[in-house]
A and B are shown apart, each in its own frame.
Chain A
């Protein structure tokens, strides 16, 4: 079973904090990989808030091909961070050439584009690079989006953190999501490492989505750019979130109604029963199944946790104003926020969505049986 840990904080923090929490929960994962999502960045990256950042792993030739392609598209390289590795990689981690985090200045014509068009362009660019990399096996692309950095590697999280020096001062963020991977049914593939990312939103999961194949078949034929890949059954959670928010224009309160809708007896007495019934019917192919705890971050930097319909996986949220964490186990919380009021820790159950807004003031619990916020 994988272990998840995420932090949302008013002050920037090092991702090493999250990795320390994963280390506390080590009994629960086999150290077969680590995935990191960082957003609301501080340090040098805070100067480039609106400029897309490319995160990925490259060979020398891959990097050249990438640079040629980006130049051809009119992107100008700006600030760059290379996670330089001098020593040998830890056991189980392959030797790679370049871990790149590259800020790009968008092309001139960018200014004339609508926000939607820019987003399409960034997603398209990421996918093109990903396909180019898949073809020659010389690059792996995780994200290409403003104010987002993603790092993924195979191996033990703590050792990788040391190897890549993830505690460096310039790599700090206010939103951090980390997953310690327990490899199960898919090969160790970097694209199968959580968190998954699309257009500013990211999710990671501890679980197994048994409805993966029908959901994948549905999403990948909806004509939405970016609904592809699916190296992991959990990638669909990110895309369903994207579908909910971007395609349907709904909020995070609706996400749980889509992935695990209420049963009829509850729907009948719900204030929004007509809307929810119609949503349940039309989004039937997006209903997930199996044991799953999902933690995610939205483009507006809101962080949340939801559980499957039967609440079969562990998950806890706790903290103090200014710093909250979502964790698979309470020992993870203890490692990072030992001075919190533990009596206020909350374990979301089968109807709950636990939400922490970017101001990190409190944990808001949204139960499926409550009325939905008014639609505009």
Chain B
């Protein structure tokens, strides 16, 4: 910075930024790949002027000299609008490993300046906290000598779950006898890919996920299901046999539902289920958000909106005035659209009001489940404050709901689907198994599958997290073909399959030593322990140290 430049309140130094670019002049070839790849233009070509002092040796007759030279290199911009996000794509593309982004070990000042023009920070990703109570839960009931542990590699395991309203045994037998209506129930794999919309995700990412899911179903006999999120569904998928692997989501913006409703007469298969999104764990009480950067012509066409405008869904469904009537009507209408052949369930953000929702649903014969998304859930775009400070952890919420179903004797009738931060530290199978044993019938993942199947760089250490502006450097959450062509859908599909097959083995490695194989151990709380007394009491599991 020139010495006479103005110092404004938001003038920051490199050290005031959370991420600093270290660049090595000795190995840099000045190829320019790093500046080209940087998604936020945090680095640029730097033309540096350097003063060289030449002092003569002793007894030499020449005078000391001062001259100037120029060298070229990389300059990190310090304007808050161009702060490095730490994605490290520069390092990824550098042929000589000459550049890297380093997380500052000092308190950054940037956080005080992310509200330019009165716009609070928006971002993608998860709550910026690596804490996870799920990671602290251990599986302690190991079959040892009183009963044999099972062999995860050789024994048969039935690791399926049910989505849909399950009648009580007496009602089921009666309904068959009297040829009455039996609510639709789907037998699925307990790890679902949660709602990530076409729009939030790039076409290549979506296609890759769908191909992976189709392969798992058709080649590996794993009934994995994927939710569309709120953004409609590509018309060809709606009319294909693969629709049965898809959970269609309807949310408060109703984006894409014109297309879906019109496709119903041409559908070859019913969708797996319909999820009505009332809330999202990452930003509870706030609606979906697709910022204008990502609304190109394709997305606009699928969603039935004009291109280039931001699409904020309202925080609530406009028709919703009471849970007893409006929600019940919505569930009923969606059921009716497919002739009561498709399970319809609401998804809410975990909240201290979840129990009231659940209690209402137990009395609604068309409600096919309840998906609860905890505070650690991810999102493509939300206000930073919503992501970091709003919401309820999923563990105690799912446990309370399960125990409430137990109290009502309905724990097999209304499946609970848990989500939000599962596998946030990489422990997917352990987290999912813990949620299942706390009472969830199935677990939803979103961010994890982006990280594992497409190499998403976002972390809870606030790395990258720019999904909202469509500049995803991996092409996962971008609608810019120059970016999403980086992502090969075939490779994404391969990774989805890898993730599921590995998860399946790990899940068996957890349940086999617990002596469980005949059914998914939903609510097997005697297997769980935690070295935290109040957490143990709260979750009604064992306190172990």
A positions within 8 Å CB-CB of B: 1, 184-185, 207-208, 210-214, 217-218, 221-223, 243, 247-250, 260, 263-264, 274-275, 278-279, 281-291, 308-310, 312
Q: Which residues of A contact B524 (CB under 8 A)?
A: 210-211, 213-214
Interface-centre pick from A208, A282, A287, A312 (highest chain B CB count, 10 A): A282
Nearest-CB residue, chain B, relative to A290 = B515
Determine the distance from Cα of A274 to Cα of B525 in the docked complex, in whole angstroms: 32
In the complex, which range does the number of interface residues on chain B fall in?
A: 35 or more
Given known A212-B526, A213-B526, contact A291–B519 (CB-CB < 8 A): no
Determine the distance from Cα of A242 to Cα of B529 in the docked complex, in whole angstroms: 33
Given known A248-B169, A289-B516, contact A281–B162 (CB-CB < 8 A): yes
Nearest-CB residue, chain A, relative to B405 = A221
Q: Which residues of A contact B523 (CB under 8 A)?
A: 213-214, 217
Could you tell me if A211 and B516 are in contact, using CB atoms closer than 8 angstroms? yes
B251 CB within 8 Å of chain A: no
Could you tell me if B406 and A210 are in contact, using CB atoms closer than 8 angstroms? no
Could you tell me if B515 and A284 are in contact, using CB atoms closer than 8 angstroms? no
Could you tell me if A289 and B409 are in contact, using CB atoms closer than 8 angstroms? no
Could you tell me if B170 and A208 are in contact, using CB atoms closer than 8 angstroms? no
B158 CB within 8 Å of chain A: yes
B507 CB within 8 Å of chain A: no
Known: A285-B411, A309-B156. 19 other contacts (CB 8 A): A184-B146, A210-B147, A210-B514, A211-B516, A211-B518, A214-B411, A217-B406, A243-B169, A279-B172, A281-B162, A282-B168, A282-B169, A283-B412, A284-B162, A285-B412, A285-B522, A289-B516, A309-B517, A309-B518
B408 CB within 8 Å of chain A: yes
Residue from B166, B409, B518, B522 within 8 A of A282 (CB atoms): B166
Determine the distance from Cα of A279 to Cα of B175 in the docked complex, in whole angstroms: 12
Q: Which residues of A contact B408 (CB under 8 A)?
A: 221
B positions within 8 Å CB-CB of A: 141, 143, 146-148, 150, 155-156, 158, 160, 162, 166-173, 176, 182, 185, 187, 406-409, 411-412, 514-519, 521-526
Could you tell me if A260 and B518 are in contact, using CB atoms closer than 8 angstroms? yes
Interface-centre pick from B155, B172, B518, B524 (highest chain A CB count, 10 A): B518
Could you tell me if A281 and B156 are in contact, using CB atoms closer than 8 angstroms? no
Nearest-CB residue, chain B, relative to A249 = B173
Determine the distance from Cα of A210 to Cα of B520 in the docked complex, in whole angstroms: 12
A-B contact pairs, 18 of them (CB 8 A): A208-B515, A210-B143, A210-B147, A210-B515, A211-B516, A211-B521, A212-B526, A218-B409, A218-B411, A221-B408, A221-B411, A279-B173, A281-B185, A283-B169, A284-B166, A284-B519, A287-B519, A312-B148
A352 CB to closest chain B CB (Å) equals: 16
Could you tell me if B147 and A263 are in contact, using CB atoms closer than 8 angstroms? no
Could you tell me if A282 and B526 are in contact, using CB atoms closer than 8 angstroms? no
Nearest-CB residue, chain A, relative to B516 = A289
Could you tell me if A310 and B172 are in contact, using CB atoms closer than 8 angstroms? no
Could you tell me if A248 and B143 are in contact, using CB atoms closer than 8 angstroms? no
Determine the distance from Cα of A37 to Cα of B440 in the docked complex, in whole angstroms: 39
A260 CB to closest chain B CB (Å) equals: 6
| Contacts between chains A and B (CB distance < 8 A), count | 115
Determine the distance from Cα of A255 to Cα of B515 in the docked complex, in whole angstroms: 21
B414 CB to closest chain A CB (Å) equals: 12
Nearest-CB residue, chain A, relative to B141 = A210
Q: Which residues of B contact A222 (CB under 8 A)?
A: 409
Could you tell me if B519 and A248 are in contact, using CB atoms closer than 8 angstroms? no
Determine the distance from Cα of A286 to Cα of B407 in the docked complex, in whole angstroms: 17
Q: Which residues of B contact A250 (CB under 8 A)?
A: 173
B147 CB to closest chain A CB (Å) equals: 4
Nearest-CB residue, chain A, relative to B410 = A221
A332 CB to closest chain B CB (Å) equals: 21
Determine the distance from Cα of A4 to Cα of B234 in the docked complex, in whole angstroms: 62
Given known A221-B409, A281-B162, contact A214–B172 (CB-CB < 8 A): no
Residue from A212, A214, A283, A310 within 8 A of B517 (CB atoms): A310
Determine the distance from Cα of A248 to Cα of B169 in the docked complex, in whole angstroms: 7
Could you tell me if A288 and B518 are in contact, using CB atoms closer than 8 angstroms? yes
Nearest-CB residue, chain A, relative to B143 = A210
Could you tell me if A264 and B187 are in contact, using CB atoms closer than 8 angstroms? yes
B174 CB to closest chain A CB (Å) equals: 10
Q: Which residues of B contact A243 (CB under 8 A)?
A: 169
Nearest-CB residue, chain A, relative to B167 = A282
Nearest-CB residue, chain A, relative to B185 = A281
Could you tell me if B162 and A289 are in contact, using CB atoms closer than 8 angstroms? no
Determine the distance from Cα of A169 to Cα of B514 in the docked complex, in whole angstroms: 47
Q: Which residues of B contact A223 (CB under 8 A)?
A: 409
Residue from A218, A283, A290, A310 within 8 A of B143 (CB atoms): A290
A286 CB to closest chain B CB (Å) equals: 8
Given known A210-B147, A284-B166, contact A248–B173 (CB-CB < 8 A): yes
Determine the distance from Cα of A283 to Cα of B413 in the docked complex, in whole angstroms: 10
Q: Which residues of B contact A286 (CB under 8 A)?
A: 169
Interface-centre pick from A221, A285, A291 (highest chain B CB count, 10 A): A285
Could you tell me if B518 and A214 are in contact, using CB atoms closer than 8 angstroms? no
Could you tell me if A279 and B521 are in contact, using CB atoms closer than 8 angstroms? no
Could you tell me if B143 and A289 are in contact, using CB atoms closer than 8 angstroms? no
A206 CB to closest chain B CB (Å) equals: 11
Determine the distance from Cα of A275 to Cα of B173 in the docked complex, in whole angstroms: 8
Nearest-CB residue, chain B, relative to A221 = B409
